Structure 1
């Protein structure tokens, strides 16, 4: 079905009020903007800080988390955060039978009721002046995660690219009336090539630059037909880690990751390692190849992008709950400070859960009770400090 643009006028009014409350409206209405304000948003990204919310992260709604309450967004605002990234699996929003493999025709069968669930979480976030980044974590023909059959390959099949662009046309048309300071579009989570897209341990490698450019350009054009002034973001190549200068001519921002070295950020993660319990405990710093200077070297290509006028944000970062807490904090403090030196903000991979500040399930944290949740106060203070 054809999904109309966002119909809730009261929400759009409240979004404008939230914009003013967030201190952003003067820039939008100033009769004499500063030279900085006149730059395209992608060239002068705010240092947004916040969290990923996984309400629509899985393809099947029956397996999804309980939707985030408005309380979480209030706490975010009160703690000084301003950024919400929503990684979405496209099948979540379809009217399909999830017990069967999806067909190319079904990729277009949107459910208005399910799409409206995104309206609701955006409204909650905007009630507190928070910027929302919509991301296709699973797009037609590609996802970095296993667990759902794709009927085609985004990197090679025109039918998949057509569907990808159709989805972005729908989302951008729906939210084109919302202030550009409060919503943006993150094209595709962590592009890479996979030897077998349905194999959890399939080999990954970077997408050829020309291929990524072709796919991104088509999606950007679809979005700009409806939301020409809104920010568009492309994730780094090969799982989000590699800066992509090949996309610089598209006038979009790029999103890096805060997961290096992987043996710290994903220590004992069962979806990564076949025998997680056999791994040695990580250390930080750990020699000449794992310290603050090595982080600066790793992120230098991203800093080079900034020097070319490309805005950069770290859309995902954090650490699984099996890494010793003190090691995690020492390493993560260095990651965030290296990024902060270049005014690069971040989105922690989740607020609630094993990577989060609430209910992370770590065995070595002295949690603080927070309205019935377990708060990692040390991690919260680190995030607030950078």
Structure 2
């Protein structure tokens, strides 16, 4: 049980979602290719085994929808409206095989559309319509979730949930990596989420459905609070710490101010209290009975390791004290537990991989 400032037990609010703890994987993260070779499947099996052995129970599976279409993104030809709903059976099979593989190790799978028809928070792929403006895009979105709901309807809700779309926001220019964003109007988000909920629950009424927080995962969605939909926050506040020198955030990475924790960055004070203030709306949502999970969290490998661990420890304490689970982005890679490529870590060799033991210990303690 978590302890208060004076060492007294603290009552943890009852969360409407399980306290899943684990990692994001990137098997279908970018078109055009997906990883379904025997060698990659064997490596993924080992990854899942290690996750389970270390005490974790969750993977989030963010997908770019062109990866499982007949459409071939490698040709560089923009996708048409009609092509957005023509599924490739072999790729759909590979997604299901990944779900099965994770489930065999006791891991719950959160299936997520990182890129959905008509929307992705990242640039790099030209959509034929806009999810938040066009009915055709919304109907295509419902078609995807109807397909997944039907295909995977026999999987127990304890083993599989659906996370509708990654980090929704509105961009005037969807092809500009650095375009400013604003929140989706609440009535539009409700319409789209409710449409997905209906097609999913038509196949399995007990399937858990999660909606990412508005404006890139930062804001709770009051318009959804009365629906049987959990909400997913992000563990990236402040970006000065989590995304120091990340090229998809900073046009000029050399202009990023050096992060500290706690302390002053770019004229602003950041500490445990500022974190608690940021997450208070999410904590209030838990207390209202709405399920909350942090679908992504962690820190890019340019942030000094001691700063990362100090900041992340405070963040995980806040999550744990409020019954909120989390998914590190990622398991392997620049945010990861393995092979993160940090220059200031004394890595431990782990079956040919570089293990960040200090990070693992921190994760296991929460």
Aligned twin of 1:84: 59
Q: In the TM superposition, what are the counterparts of 1:52-131 in structure 2 within 5 Å?
A: 52-61=24-33, 66=40, 69-98=44-73, 99=75, 100-131=77-108
Say which SS state the counterpart of residue 177 (structure 2) adopts: coil
Root-mean-square deviation over aligned CA pairs? 1.5
How much has 1:177 moved relative to structure 2? Answer: 0.4
How much has 1:277 moved relative to structure 2? Answer: 1.9
Whole-angstrom distance in 1 between the partners of 2:170 and 2:256: 27
Contact 1:237 / 1:243 at 8 angstroms: preserved in 2? yes
Aligned twin of 1:192: 169
Contact 1:321 / 1:354 at 8 angstroms: preserved in 2? yes
Contact 1:187 / 1:235 at 8 angstroms: preserved in 2? yes
Contact 2:165 / 2:211 at 8 angstroms: preserved in 1? yes
Aligned twin of 2:319: 339
- Counterpart of 2:301 (choices 300, 318, 321) is 321
Q: In the TM superposition, what are the counterparts of 1:265-344 in structure 2 within 5 Å?
A: 265-287=242-264, 289-344=269-324
Q: Compared with structure 1, are the counterparts of its residues 54 and 240 closer, same or farther at alpha carbon in structure 2 (3 Å cutoff)? A: same
Verify: 1:50 aligned to 2:28, yes or no. no
Say which SS state the counterpart of residue 219 (structure 1) adopts: helix
How much has 1:62 moved relative to structure 2? Answer: 6.6
Whole-angstrom distance in 2 between the partners of 1:81 and 1:260: 23
How much has 1:243 moved relative to structure 2? Answer: 0.7
Say which SS state the counterpart of residue 146 (structure 2) adopts: helix
Whole-angstrom distance in 2 between the partners of 1:236 and 1:271: 20
Whole-angstrom distance in 2 between the partners of 1:43 and 1:165: 28
Contact 2:213 / 2:220 at 8 angstroms: preserved in 1? yes
Q: Compared with structure 1, are the counterparts of its residues 64 and 350 closer, same or farther at alpha carbon in structure 2 (3 Å cutoff)? A: farther
Please, what TM-score do these two structures have when normalized by structure 2?
0.92
Contact 1:43 / 1:253 at 8 angstroms: preserved in 2? no
Ranges in structure 1 where 5+ consecutive residues have no aligned partner: 1-41
Verify: 1:353 aligned to 2:328, yes or no. no
How much has 1:47 moved relative to structure 2? Answer: 1.1
Please, what TM-score do these two structures have when normalized by structure 1?
0.87
Whole-angstrom distance in 2 between the partners of 1:106 and 1:76: 36
- Counterpart of 1:210 (choices 187, 190, 193) is 187
Q: Give the 4+ runs in structure 1 shifted more than 3 A.
A: 62-68
Ranges in structure 2 where 5+ consecutive residues have no aligned partner: 1-13
Contact 1:83 / 1:132 at 8 angstroms: preserved in 2? yes
Verify: 1:162 aligned to 2:120, yes or no. no
Contact 1:59 / 1:148 at 8 angstroms: preserved in 2? no
Whole-angstrom distance in 2 between the partners of 1:348 and 1:62: 21
Deviates more, 1:108-117 or 1:64-73: 64-73
Contact 2:298 / 2:329 at 8 angstroms: preserved in 1? yes
- Counterpart of 2:352 (choices 368, 372, 382) is 372
Contact 1:57 / 1:64 at 8 angstroms: preserved in 2? no
